[in-house]
Amino acid sequence: MDPRCGCDHCELKTAFFESFRKEELGIFCDRKVEIPYKRGDIVFLEGDEIKYFSYLKSGLVKLYRSDPEGKDQIITIAGPFDFVSLLGVFSETHQTYSVSVLEDAVICCIDIVQMKAIALENGVFTLNLMEKLGSISNQIILESLEIRKRHTHGKVAYILLKFSQSIYKNQVFELPVSRREIAEYIGMTTENVIRTLSEFRKEKLLRINGREIEILDVAAMERISNYG
């Protein structure tokens, strides 16, 4: 086993690279580039040429689009083990969205040509990859539909529960985004996000200290998210 290669112990390996044959893992490791990013860094911008297939080893990033007037729309927030590359990576030549870093991150990049070459050779790998990418795309679609059908209170409750339950797995957490970014995520104005948070605080559903949030009444928040 090649001592230079760190992929043997990568947490991602068990996720889907287990299907790699030894020599493929070797190729993978030799070619991959791991890049550390700081909060606020741009990973790539909409329109950039797609050169790498990339996934998130650690940290938190946001996927977003900017419209001509400069208003951003957040597509989703991705955590460790999520891919930064979505399905478009195999059908597009240029990025259809931008990615920036919310919490210091390490992103592993694999040359897209190399990735396709391995995919052509190894059916198990490709099928695993398709399952994983499919599952993520499915999640994004369903999340978008869930957000769309909610009103302001339900939207804010939904997104706070996402942070609490899916991302931080804790009732107390530090918001990785500003109120404005929450608004860009769920499609409201910044003022109404702030107002809704204030209302939840006054009703003792939340404790708020700047970006630190504690969900005091989970059941009530779930009720608001589902029927609010």
Partner DNA sequence: GTCACTTTATGATAAATATCATAGCCGGGC
Partner DNA sequence: GCCCGGCTATGATATTTATCATAAAGTGAC
Q: Which residues here bind a copy of itself, judged by CB under 8 A? A: 65, 67, 73, 75, 86-92, 96, 116, 119-124, 126-127, 129-135, 137-138, 140-142, 144-145, 147-149, 187
Q: Are 2 and 10 a contacting pair, CB within 8 Å?
A: no
Angstrom distance (rounded) from CA 13 to CA 9: 7
Say how many residues touch DNA, by CB under 7 A.
19
Contact yes or no for 221/201 (Cβ under 8 A)? no
Q: Which stretch binds DNA (CB under 7 A): 61-69, 133-141, 164-172, 205-213?
A: 205-213
How far apart CA 119 and CA 116 sit, in angstroms, is 5
Which one of residues 26, 180, 207, 222 is an interface residue with DNA (CB under 7 A)?
180
Contact 55, 82 (CB under 8 A): yes
Nearer to a copy of itself, 37 or 83 (CB): 83
- Compute the least distance from the CB of residue 193 to DNA, in Å: 8
Are 117 and 53 spatial neighbours (Cβ–Cβ below 8 Å)? no
Q: Of 37 and 125, which has the nearer Cβ to a copy of itself?
A: 125
Q: Using DSSP, state whether 95 is helix, strand or coil.
A: coil
Contacts with DNA by CB under 7 A lie at 151-153, 178-180, 187-192, 194-195, 197-198, 208, 210-211
